[in-house]
Structure 1
Amino acid sequence: MAHIQLKTAIPGPKGQAILERRKNALPSGLAKSTEVAVERAEGALVWDVDGNQLIDFAGGIGMINVGHCNAQVVNAIKEQVDKYIHTCSLVTTIEPYIELAELLNSVTPGDFPKKTLLANSGSEAVENAVNIAKYYTKRNAVLCFEGAYHGRTLLTLSLTSKYALFKKGFGSYVSDIYRIPAPNMYRKEEGMSEEQYIQFCIRNLERAMIAQVDPESLAAIIIEPIQGEGGFLPIPTPFLQKLRELCDKYGIVFIADEIQCGAGRTGKLFAIEHTGVVPDIVVSAKSIGAGMPISAVTGRAEMMDAPHLGGVGGTYGGSPVACVAAIEAIKQLKSEAFLNRAIEVGQIISSTMNGWKSKYRAIGDVRGAGSMQLVEFVKDRDTREPDMEFAMEVIKDATSKGLILIRAGLYSNCIRLLPPVVITDEQLKEGLEVLEGAIARAQERRGG
Structure 2
Amino acid sequence: MTASAPSPELIGGPGLPQRRELRTEVPGPLSRELAARRSAAVSAGVSSTLPVYAAAAGGGVLVDVDGNSFVDLGSGIAVTTVGNSAPKVVAAASDQLARFTHTCAMITPYESYVRLAEELAAITPGDHEKRTALFNTGSEAVENAVKIARCATGRTGIAVVDHAYHGRTNLTMALTAKNKPYKDGFGPFAADVHRAPTSYPFRDDAGLSGAAAAKRTTDYLERTAGADRLAALVIEPIQGEGGFVVPAPGFLAELARWCRANGIVFVADEVQTGVARTGSWFATDHEDVVPDLITTAKGLGGGLPIAAVTGRAELMDAVPAGGLGGTYGGNPVACAAALAALETIREDGLIARAAAIGEQATARLRALAAADPRIGDVRGRGAMIAVEFVRPGGTEPDAALAKAVADHCHRTGVLVLTCGSFGNVIRLLPPLTIPDELLHDGLDVLADALAQS
**What TM-score, normalized by structure 2, do the two folds share?**
0.94
Give the Cα–Cα distance (whole angstroms) in 2 for the partners of residues 115 and 312 of structure 1: 12
Residue 362 (str. 1) matches residue 374 (str. 2) = yes
Report how far residue 345 of structure 1 moved. Answer: 0.4
Please name the residue that 1:437 is paired with. 448
CA deviation vs aligned residue, 1:315-365 (integer Å, no higher than 9, x gap): 000100000000011123345821111111001100001010133332111
Corresponding residue of 2:411 = 400
Q: Which residue of structure 2 lines up, in the alignment, with residue 209 of structure 1? A: 221
Structure 1 SS opposite 2:195: strand
C-alpha distance in 2 between matches for 1:358 and 1:206: 36
Distance 1:336 1:85, change over 3 A: closer
Give the equivalent residue in structure 2 for 1:445: none
Q: Is the 8 A contact 2:211 2:254 kept in 1?
A: no
Partner of 2:53: 37
Aligned position for 2:69: 53
Cross-structure match for 2:241: 229
Distance in structure 2 (CA, Å) of the matches to 1:236 and 1:330: 30
Matched, 1:419 2:430: yes
Q: Say yes or no: does 1:126 pair with 2:142.
A: yes
Is contact 2:196-2:221 (8 Å) kept?
Answer: no
Of 233-242 and 6-15, more deviation after overlay is shown by 233-242
Instruction: Say yes or no: does 1:255 pair with 2:267.
Output: yes
Over 3 Å counting, the alpha-carbon distance change for 1:97 and 1:366 in structure 2 is same
Mean alpha-carbon deviation: is it higher for 360-369 or for 100-109?
Answer: 360-369
Counterpart CA distance in 2 for 1:278 and 1:335 is 25
Amino acid at match of 2:383: S
What SS does the corresponding residue of 1:96 show, helix, strand or coil? helix
1:272 partnered with 2:288:
no
In the alignment, the residues of structure 2 paired with residue 28 and residue 360 of structure 1 have an alpha-carbon distance, to the nearest angstrom, of 37
Q: Which residue of 2 aligns with 1:338?
A: 350
State the partner residue of 2:386: 374
**Structure 1: distance between partners of 2:450 and 2:18:** 20
What is the identity percentage for the equivalent residue pairs of Structure 1 and Structure 2?
42
1:171 CA drift (Å): 1.2
How far apart in 2 are the matches of 1:88 and 1:229? 32
TM-superposed CA distance for 1:207, in Å, is 2.0
Residue 360 (structure 2) aligns with? 348
Counterpart AA for 1:393: A
Is the Cα–Cα contact under 8 Å of residues 389 and 413 in structure 1 kept in the other structure?
A: yes
Secondary structure of the corresponding residue to residue 166 of structure 1: coil
CA RMSD of aligned residues (A): 1.3
Q: Is the 8 A contact 2:18 2:59 kept in 1?
A: no
Q: Is 1:183 matched up with 2:199?
A: yes
Q: Find the aligned partners of 1:311 and 1:267 in 2 and give their Cα distance.
A: 35
> What whole-Å deviation, never above 9, does each CA across 1:282-325 have from its counterpart, x for those lacking one?
10000010110000000011111111111110000010000000
Large movers: runs of 4+ above 3 Å: none
Corresponding residue SS for 1:341 = helix
SS, match of residue 284 in structure 2 = helix
Match of 1:109 in 2: 125
Match of 1:173 in 2: 189
Is contact 2:198-2:217 (8 Å) kept?
A: no
Alignment of 1:428 with 2:418, yes or no, is no
> Who is 2:8 aligned against?
none
In 2, Cα distance between the equivalents of 1:49 and 1:318? 32
The answer as to whether partners of 1:244 and 1:254 remain within 8 angstroms in 2 is: yes
Which secondary structure does the structure 2 equivalent of 1:115 belong to? strand
Count of residues paired in the alignment: 437
**Residue 312 in 1 paired to residue 324 in 2?**
yes
CA distance 1:316–1:232, shift in 2 (3 Å): same
Kindly indicate whether residue 204 of structure 2 is the aligned counterpart of residue 193 of structure 1.
no
Q: Which amino acid aligns with 1:38?
A: A
Q: Which SS does the other structure have where 1:221 is aligned?
A: strand
- SS of equivalent residue, structure 1 residue 332: helix
Aligned equivalent of 2:90, options 33, 52, 74? 74
Encode CA deviations 1:86-138: one digit per residue, 9 max, x unaligned.
Answer: 00011101111111111101111111110100000000000001000000000
Q: Cα distance 1:53–1:266, how it changes in 2: closer, same or farther (>3 A)?
A: same
CA 227–426 in structure 1, closer or farther in 2 if over 3 Å, else same: same
Residues 2, 263 of structure 1: CA spacing in aligned structure 2 closer, same or farther, 3 A cutoff? closer
* Structure 2 residue 379 is matched with structure 1 residue 384: no
Contact 1:269 1:333 (C-alpha < 8 Å) held by counterparts: no
Q: Distance in 1 between matches of 2:249 and 2:173?
A: 26
**What is the rounded CA distance, in whole Å, between the counterparts of 2:421 and 2:215 in structure 1?**
23
**What runs of 5+ residues in structure 1 fail to find an aligned partner?**
443-448
* Partner Cα separation in structure 1 for residue 347 and residue 151 of structure 2: 35
Gaps spanning 5+ residues in structure 2: where?
Answer: 1-16
Native 8 Å contact 1:264 1:334 kept in 2:
no
Counterpart in the other structure of 1:329: 341
1:218-273 CA-to-partner distances (Å, cap 9, x unmatched) read 10011100001111111234221221112111111110000101110111000000
TM-score w.r.t. structure 1 length? 0.95
Hey, what does 1:300 align to over in structure 2? 312
Alpha-carbon spacing, 1:59–1:336, altered in 2? closer, same or farther (3 Å): closer
Q: Distance in 2 between matches of 1:30 and 1:313?
A: 27
Structure 2 residue identity aligned to 1:68 = N
Deviations 1:155-183 (A, max 9, x none): 11100011122111111111111001210
| Structure-2 residue corresponding to 1:446 | none
Q: CA deviation at 1:203?
A: 3.0
1:415 is paired with a residue whose SS is strand
